[in-house]
Amino acid sequence: MADWHAVQSRFVDHPKGAVREADELVSSLLRARGYPVADFDRRAEDISVNHPRLAEYYRSAHGVALRMGWDEISTEDMKTAMIEYRSLFEELVQIQRPGRIKAVA
């Protein structure tokens, strides 16, 4: 969670950079969870199996991150993307890795 908080804290002063970092952080977490690395569409489809709402957030936020290089993106669009990335990040950090057993206290 510290990684997310660091990215989120940069949004006020550097919104475009924070959105790019959020995209990279979520992509890194998805790779760690075993989602396909190279193909965004496949990764989004795989997410939609268990997390349909989050897959839509991912598509939307990633679209903003991609458009930042070509179009003028509003601060509101970047803010929405950060909220969507945060929802996805929080859900993904709660998912157990395959083959791992949660310890019972």
Structure confidence by residue, pLDDT tens digits, 11-64: 999 999 999 999 999 988 888 888 877 788 888 888 888 788 888 999 999 999
| Residue 70 lies inside a defined structural domain of this protein | yes
User: 3-class SS at 45?
Assistant: helix
Q: pLDDT at position 36, please?
A: 77
Per-residue confidence (pLDDT) for residue 99, from 0 to 100: 44
Looking at residues 59-70, what average pLDDT do you find? 88
Specify if 36 maps to a domain.
Answer: yes
> What's the maximum distance between 2 C-alpha atoms anywhere in the chain?
51
pTM above 0.85, yes or no: no
Which amino acid type is present at position 18?
A
Task: Kindly report the number of other CB atoms within 10 A of residue 15's CB atom.
Answer: 19
The number of folded domains in the chain is 1
Its domain, for residue 23, covers 2-94
Q: Is residue 100 part of a domain?
A: no
pLDDT at 73: 87
